[in-house]
Each structure stands twice: as C-alpha cells, then as structure tokens.
Amino acid sequence: MQKPFTTTNNLDFLQSNGVDADIFRFKVGTCHGLYYQTKEAVCLLAVMNNKKGNGHFTDVLEWFEFSAKRQGLYFDVVDVMNMRLRKHLMDKQGFVAIGRDHLRKKV
C-alpha cells in the first residue's frame, strides 16, 4: 500500500489499540506515544523519542498535521508540561496557546 504522503525522514505511522477505546498508541520511527481525537481536533497527548536528535519528532508532527488537515480538524498538543517544548511548538511550529498546557494549530 502506498503512503498518502512522505515525511521528512520517510517514516511510517503505526497505530495500535490504546489504553481505552478513545486513546490510541502510535509509533513513528523512534518516537511513540498516545493520541485521541475529538469532533474538532486531533490531539497529541504524549510523545517520547527513544533516540533524541534524529529528527523523528519532526515526522510525528508531520503525520499529525497531515491527519488533521485531511479531516478538516485542528491539531492540538495537550497537557504540555515541558515548557521548552511548549516554547518550541509556539515559536517554531505555529501553535498558539488556548490554555496554559493546551496548544492548537490550524492546518
């Protein structure tokens, strides 16, 4: 099956059942985490990169942006506790704060 688009590092998006019916696990390269979807947004809840500095987080963002755009939804990053990541997402990735720990991007 052909991928719908190609990310920076040409990584696939893998998904499995999550912690409950509404939260799903994902894996992109060395990154893995949790996400869910609402009527208005695709929401990235948690992400970990097992090998920092390899650019795989960029692919994670690209996959979620693609999914949100394809469905006509926002791309949200929720429960952001890492203030350095929050600043990066706002300054470099075009997210805006809609709460202290909730960021949103219109794609």
pLDDT, tens digit only, all 107 positions of the chain:
556 789 999 999 999 987 788 999 999 999 999 999 999 999 999 999 999 899 999 999 999 999 999 999 999 999 999 999 999 999 999 999 998 899 999 99
Total-model pTM = 0.92
In the chain the domains, ranked by start, together with CATH numbers, are 14-106 (3.40.630.30)
pLDDT of 56 reads 97
> Considering Cα of 23, then 25, then 28, then 30, what sign does the dihedral take?
positive
pLDDT of 26 reads 97
Q: How far apart are CA 75 and CA 32, in angstroms?
A: 17
How many Cβ atoms are within 10 Å of 26's Cβ, its own excluded?
Answer: 20
Closest of 48, 52, 53 to residue 25, by C-alpha: 48
pLDDT of 49 reads 95
Give the three-state DSSP class for 3.
Answer: coil
**Rg of the chain over all Cα atoms, to the nearest angstrom:** 13
Say if CB 101 and CB 80 are below 8 A apart: yes
pLDDT of 1 reads 52
